[in-house]
Structure 1
């Protein structure tokens, strides 16, 4: 008995620590596999890699054709994210191929693809699987005769200073190939687009036919957020991640402003925070519903009951979960179609709530919250609940709307009684 009491005492004393250890963890991917064409990229792009390491990521560098590489072992994935800095690889080593990378993303993991002018068919095929298509001309590069970066040599205007569709202190340097995105695909978004004067062609030869990609339809960097909240970045330039581009000064043609440092580091750091779920990641907890005036969740509702619904939504700030504040979170009370659609009000501390009257329809309903907002992970919440009609003894005994019928009935009985008396006792 004494040992048992000691065990209980120790367990109770450890409860606060257990509560901390089982608290919600960071959604950030920590184990990252980086596949390279050459280990020289590890040093030439060290600033980008160091920024990841400084934020707590565990990077494992492998050659793309290493025969021992694999994404999973015994059915368990070894990594949370994959970075492909190997644009010229013709065939992956080990068990990695296009299908295994697609399965990796389908399992909710994240991916960064950096292509280049020497992008292989393998890299192009993987990019096509994600929803973007690189220019089919293998020698093509993005050329811009008005939006290029000023340099000491005239060059071929393939070094582009882009500031379209981004918010950065300085233009971003880009040199590589362009790609197109399907405008009908709501999952793909241009993050860095070419200017209206840009086009995709071989800079070493004269144009014999109109270029297939022109203007702002050329995407330099695109992002994809899958329906399972896996995130993908596709860039047409490996050089834009390099130390040289990070440290290089930049002056856009036609502008007198010269920046001492390009916007590449700022842009790609923020982009990597997004793709690795350090930004824009939502979670929902404490989903509750109950009858007005009660606190316990009922097993079912009755038609015309008053119901309260609440949920707490938080956003990962990079270090902790912070209350998410928005005015577009909606609740559906759903059976085949929404019978009730209400916008949830928020206390700006993470709690969203609303009240409504259960419709005068019985069946199996669902409380549904389907929240999708650009740049944020989607939320899909549902709770099933049956709704029953009134029981026979729950109806009101006298309905105000039926008073005319009650009056008609009693007046008929009174009239019949008077008629009977008069008929029986009159001579």
Structure 2
């Protein structure tokens, strides 16, 4: 009896300890959108030192980094059918594949599962890297010897060189991508160019080349116009997929290096010299966006009911007055904060929207509206499809039937029908008088 009691106590203690050690029990992981385990693939472990400032910023923000060489045969993104990582950083431009069997299709499946990717390339970018970038919507220059050259927006330190060290100030002005603090210093870039399809509204240039830039071989003679030139060249781009997976594509691995982070910079033609380039702020802020520390939304407490009631009905009747509400919050990196916007809309939908209403907000995350159910019966949906640049998309839908009036719910006497009532009664009265006259008049 005593032995059984000891065993029960031991099992309870073990279960309690396992619960504490499990990821779900971690406050930082359970509250946020990501648990924070990232696989970093490199060509050489020396990158851990040469790019340590970037990696340390991820560690300081609570991410767990797992460094692997690109040719390490033990690399596996999945274990027993479950992904082991929430993010993937590929700092191995020359890799032909990752591990023993992870090809570009495996990386894309990782993204298709809703996970995030940072991809950095350079002049030695392999077909493997280029294929991943192309599938993400970024097409690198087909000329394998071409780099970005700019004879007007280069860094002054490269004045006697080939002007391949770009000092770019063409940074996307967006709070959701880069936060409230503006990046004042130019961003140093040395690498290859890529373009985005203008029809792809999910890909965004966050660092662009100037109108004077072009892509060419700096060691060769230019016999014809460069294939890529001007502002069509993207230096760094982001993509958010329909499943809210986020990707960053950079044509420069040096962009993330300690050397560029700590370099002073002066743009050609400018008299202002900055002690530190804008690379560290640029990379840190955009990585927050990539790993869902910024611009990540969630919707909770979706409710609807008739005006004057509390319980959600199983169906509505035509011409009912309905109330719809939803709470939307944004992840700030440490907690969920109320999301405030004026462009969240509700559709009451059957084949097409019968009602389209902009939701009003109380500035505390609650969005609501009232509307009258249309005079059409059938199976409708409450739909909120929210898509805004830089933010995760929200797709909410709930199906609800709408019935017509029952026979005993119609008004018995309609004011508009009084002429018809009068005609009917006058006809009966006339028929009665005609009958009396006909039968009794001699």
| CA distance in 1 between partners of 2:94 and 2:224 (Å) | 27
| CA distance in 2 between partners of 1:23 and 1:192 (Å) | 31
Identify if the C-alpha distance between structure 1 residues 355 and 197 changes in structure 2 by more than 3 Å, giving closer, same or farther: same
- SS state of the match for residue 267, structure 1? helix
Whether 2:59 is the aligned partner of 1:44: answer no
Whether 2:103 is the aligned partner of 1:103: answer no
- Compute the displacement of 1:210 (Å): 1.2
Identify if the C-alpha distance between structure 1 residues 26 and 398 changes in structure 2 by more than 3 Å, giving closer, same or farther: same
| CA distance in 1 between partners of 2:275 and 2:29 (Å) | 44
| CA distance in 2 between partners of 1:22 and 1:423 (Å) | 96
- Compute the displacement of 1:233 (Å): 0.1
- Compute the displacement of 1:62 (Å): 0.4
Aligned to 1:233, which of 248, 266, 284?
248
| CA distance in 2 between partners of 1:189 and 1:241 (Å) | 19
The 5 A counterparts of 1:113-128 are: 113-128=119-134
- SS state of the match for residue 403, structure 1? helix
- Compute the displacement of 1:218 (Å): 0.3
Aligned to 1:282, which of 290, 297, 300?
297
- Compute the displacement of 1:249 (Å): 0.5
| CA distance in 1 between partners of 2:441 and 2:97 (Å) | 115
- Compute the displacement of 1:419 (Å): 2.9
In structure 2, stretches of 5+ residues that fail to align are: 1-19, 173-181
Q: What's 1:291 paired with?
A: 306
Aligned to 2:357, which of 342, 345, 357?
342
| CA distance in 1 between partners of 2:65 and 2:101 (Å) | 19
- Compute the displacement of 1:423 (Å): 3.5
Q: What's 1:147 paired with?
A: 153
Q: More deviation in 84-93 or 220-229?
A: 84-93
- Compute the displacement of 1:29 (Å): 4.8
Q: What's 1:203 paired with?
A: 218
Identify if the C-alpha distance between structure 1 residues 265 and 130 changes in structure 2 by more than 3 Å, giving closer, same or farther: same
Q: What's 1:4 paired with?
A: none
Whether 2:173 is the aligned partner of 1:158: answer no
Identify if the C-alpha distance between structure 1 residues 156 and 318 changes in structure 2 by more than 3 Å, giving closer, same or farther: same
The 5 A counterparts of 1:308-347 are: 308-347=323-362
| CA distance in 2 between partners of 1:332 and 1:19 (Å) | 38
8 Å CA contact retained: 1:140, 1:200? yes
| CA distance in 2 between partners of 1:141 and 1:290 (Å) | 60
8 Å CA contact retained: 2:77, 2:84? yes
Cα deviation per residue 1:11-34 (whole Å; 9 max; x = unaligned)? Answer: xxxxxx999979962013500000
Count the aligned residue pairs.
Answer: 411
Q: What's 1:247 paired with?
A: 262
| CA distance in 1 between partners of 2:136 and 2:402 (Å) | 43
Identify if the C-alpha distance between structure 1 residues 307 and 152 changes in structure 2 by more than 3 Å, giving closer, same or farther: closer
Aligned to 2:408, which of 366, 388, 393?
393
Q: What's 2:7 paired with?
A: none
Q: What's 1:87 paired with?
A: 93
- Compute the displacement of 1:408 (Å): 0.8
Whether 2:141 is the aligned partner of 1:135: answer yes
Cα deviation per residue 1:294-342 (whole Å; 9 max; x = unaligned)? Answer: 1001111111111110000000111110100001000000111111111
Aligned to 2:234, which of 199, 209, 219?
219
- SS state of the match for residue 47, structure 2? helix
Q: What's 1:259 paired with?
A: 274
Identify if the C-alpha distance between structure 1 residues 24 and 417 changes in structure 2 by more than 3 Å, giving closer, same or farther: farther
8 Å CA contact retained: 1:180, 1:219? yes
Identify if the C-alpha distance between structure 1 residues 288 and 152 changes in structure 2 by more than 3 Å, giving closer, same or farther: closer
TM-score where L is the length of structure 1: 0.93
Whether 2:198 is the aligned partner of 1:192: answer no
| CA distance in 1 between partners of 2:284 and 2:29 (Å) | 28
| CA distance in 1 between partners of 2:107 and 2:345 (Å) | 35
- SS state of the match for residue 31, structure 2? coil
| CA distance in 2 between partners of 1:425 and 1:126 (Å) | 102
Q: What's 2:179 paired with?
A: none
Q: What's 1:11 paired with?
A: none
